[in-house]
């Protein structure tokens, strides 16, 4: 390996600038934060407390993303994955434009696949040769194979990140059903902007040149390269009324593995056999993504809602981490029928039963299979006011409109249901 004097400082500076000047990670991170901040107002209104943890959750989430991104960067650098700064700008532009159309299209796997198909169409139509359309040469020369390797790393990273910090990403919300009644749901908000480093064609006089010995797989001896850092945006934002989020995440992990294998196969086969394979792999990635989304939305819609009010007791929507209800093992979707041997049907009934025996709590609950469970625990000083049990009670007050988001940042489309027209209600009463 050969490098000019003081060249590392220039290479590090270019790598940092390539990341800092990329607007994609600012836009994606901003929307991830905004989507979490929107939760706070609704939670205070519905439950009287704030459930969403923003600061600590984001710091831990992005620290993990940097750690996984470091491993992905090593893999990409060893494989010799090399892109141009023009292709980085092209993917950034495609991701932002598609994100304006629908947020889930902004995710790196989908945006790269779409950019590859656009590049294929431009090449087939020979648009880059038209006078005044020279900028399309950047689109036509898009290095699809290298970007498929980046997609494979992105999918593997998404799979790994679903094992970390999921508890803080599952949050309770209330919906207005199509019949106008209130029901509960669990919302999954798991979004990332992960930095990764790749080889980049030189844009300055300082570059790394491999002359002998070890060299990255796809880089020839004598080829000069710099390092660029780019953001990979991915994640899952979804709403579940019948499915357990943990079950959906299990299948999302297998789906991510399948996408990573398709992208890696496209990268390798294009290198070994035919470059046209990359276009087929990109098209297949888009079909896989939309089909997976369609199937899981249909599965959730076909299932009986788990978080509706119950006449047998009070329905549990969520238990706050570290609270008394979380410690004794009450789970979302279960029905609390008795507290300290007193039947309960409202929040007031629970607090009244707790006051009857301030030193001990005994809950009788029905699980998802209708089986009775008895849970009990002594109550220490202060825990009586830290029950941490969020319930779904009958109400005609509007909550959020009933839709089924499933995809990167899709929960930003959740909106409040309209309140009944007061004038019309008064006229009917008269």
Taking the C-alpha atoms of residue 57 and residue 61, their distance in angstroms, rounded to an integer, is 6
Phi, psi of 93 (to 5 degrees): -65, -45
Please say whether the beta carbons of 303 and 288 come within 8 A: no
- Does 93 share its domain with 174? yes
Strands 182-200 and 82-83: parallel
Segment among 1-5, 268-272, 283-287, 335-339 with least mean pLDDT = 1-5
* Domain span holding position 331: 314-392
- Does 279 share its domain with 331? no
Q: Is residue 48 part of a domain?
A: yes
Residues sharing a CB contact under 8 Å with residue 310, sequence separation 6 or more, in sequence order = 335
pLDDT tens per residue, range 236-268? 999 999 888 988 999 999 999 999 999 999 988
Segment among 5-19, 137-151, 178-192 with least mean pLDDT = 5-19
Task: Give the model's confidence band at 324: pLDDT under 50 very low, under 70 low, under 90 confident, else very high.
Answer: confident
Taking the C-alpha atoms of residue 54 and residue 168, their distance in angstroms, rounded to an integer, is 9
Q: Residue 234, Cβ neighbours under 10 Å: how many?
A: 25
pLDDT of residue 128: 62
Q: Residue 184, Cβ neighbours under 10 Å: how many?
A: 26
Residue 367 DSSP SS3 = coil
- Does 335 share its domain with 272? no
- Does 297 share its domain with 242? yes
pLDDT of residue 222: 59
For 415, which DSSP code? -
Count Cβ atoms within 10 A of the Cβ of residue 345 and give its class: 0-12 exposed, 13-18 middle, 19 or more buried.
middle
- Does 377 share its domain with 284? no
- Does 61 share its domain with 201? yes
Taking the C-alpha atoms of residue 54 and residue 38, their distance in angstroms, rounded to an integer, is 11
* Bigger pLDDT: 30 vs 381: 30
- Does 134 share its domain with 264? yes
Please say whether the beta carbons of 314 and 428 come within 8 A: no
* Bigger pLDDT: 384 vs 278: 278
* Bigger pLDDT: 230 vs 347: 230
Largest Cα separation within the chain, whole Å, is 91
pLDDT of residue 329: 86
pLDDT at 126 over 80: no
- Does 94 share its domain with 226? yes
pLDDT at 422 over 60: no
Q: Is residue 261 part of a domain?
A: yes
pLDDT of residue 211: 61
Number of folded domains in the chain?
2
Highest mean pLDDT among 226-235, 325-334, 357-366, 412-421: 226-235
Task: Give the model's confidence band at 14: pLDDT under 50 very low, under 70 low, under 90 confident, else very high.
Answer: confident
pLDDT at 118 over 70: yes
Domain endpoint, select from 302, 324, 339: 302
Q: Is residue 231 part of a domain?
A: yes
Residue 54 DSSP SS3 = coil
Mean pLDDT of the chain: 85
What's the whole-number mean pLDDT along residues 416-420?
72
Residue 11 DSSP SS3 = helix
- Cβ burial 104-133 (10 Å sphere, 16+ → b, else e): bbbbbbbbbbbbbbbbbebbeeeebeeeee
Q: Is residue 307 part of a domain?
A: no
Query: How far is the CA of 58 from the CAs of 53, 55, 65, in angstroms?
Result: 8, 5, 10
The whole-model pTM stands at: 0.88
* Bigger pLDDT: 163 vs 388: 163
pLDDT tens per residue, range 219-234? 665 566 788 999 999 9
Task: Give the model's confidence band at 429: pLDDT under 50 very low, under 70 low, under 90 confident, else very high.
Answer: very low
Please say whether the beta carbons of 26 and 106 come within 8 A: no
pLDDT tens per residue, range 129-161? 665 566 788 888 889 999 999 999 999 999 999
pLDDT of residue 215: 64
* Bigger pLDDT: 15 vs 98: 98
Query: Of 358, 353, 349, 355, which Cα lies nearest the Cα of 314?
Result: 349
* Bigger pLDDT: 358 vs 347: 347
């Amino acid at each position: 390996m050969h490098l000019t004097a003081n060249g590392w400082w220039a290479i590090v500076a270019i790598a940092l600038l390539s990341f800092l000047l990329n607007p994609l990670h600012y836009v994606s991170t901003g929307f991830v934060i905004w989507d979490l901040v929107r939760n706070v107002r609704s939670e205070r209104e519905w439950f009287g407390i704030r459930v969403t943890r923003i600061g600590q959750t984001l710091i831990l989430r992005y620290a993990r993303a940097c750690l996984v991104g470091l491993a992905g960067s090593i893999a990409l650098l060893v494989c010799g994955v090399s892109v141009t700064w023009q292709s980085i700008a092209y993917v950034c532009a495609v991701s932002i434009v598609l994100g304006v159309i629908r947020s889930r299209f902004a995710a790196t796997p989908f945006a790269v696949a779409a950019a590859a198909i656009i590049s294929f169409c431009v090449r087939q139509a020979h648009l880059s040769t038209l006078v005044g359309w020279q900028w399309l040469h950047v689109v036509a020369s898009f290095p699809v194979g290298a970007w498929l390797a980046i997609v494979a790393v992105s999918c593997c990273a998404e799979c790994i990140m679903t094992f970390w910090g999921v508890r803080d990403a599952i949050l309770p919300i209330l919906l207005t059903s199509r019949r106008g009644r209130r029901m509960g749901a669990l919302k999954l908000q798991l979004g990332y902007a992960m930095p990764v480093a790749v080889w980049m064609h030189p844009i300055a006089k300082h570059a790394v040149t491999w002359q002998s010995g070890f060299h990255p797989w796809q880089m020839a001896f004598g080829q000069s390269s710099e390092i660029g850092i780019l953001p990979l945006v991915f994640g899952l934002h979804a709403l579940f009324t019948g499915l357990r989020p943990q079950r959906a995440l299990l299948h999302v992990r297998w789906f991510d593995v399948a996408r990573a294998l398709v992208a890696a196969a496209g990268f390798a086969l294009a290198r070994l056999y035919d470059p046209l394979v990359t276009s087929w792999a990109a098209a297949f990635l888009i079909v896989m993504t939309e089909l997976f989304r369609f199937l899981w939305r249909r599965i959730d819609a076909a299932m009986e809602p788990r978080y509706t009010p119950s006449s047998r007791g009070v329905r549990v929507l969520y238990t706050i981490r570290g609270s008394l209800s979380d410690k004794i093992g009450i789970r979302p979707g279960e029905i609390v029928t008795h507290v300290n041997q007193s039947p309960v049907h409202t929040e007031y009934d629970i607090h009244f039963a707790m006051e009857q025996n301030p030193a001990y709590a005994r809950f009788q609950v029905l699980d998802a299979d209708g089986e009775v469970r008895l849970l009990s625990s002594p109550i220490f000083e202060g825990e009586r006011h830290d029950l941490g049990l969020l319930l779904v009670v009958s109400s005609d007050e509007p909550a959020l409109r009933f839709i089924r988001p499933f995809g990167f940042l899709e929960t930003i489309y959740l909106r409040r249901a309209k309140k009944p027209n007061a004038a019309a209600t008064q006229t009917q009463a008269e």
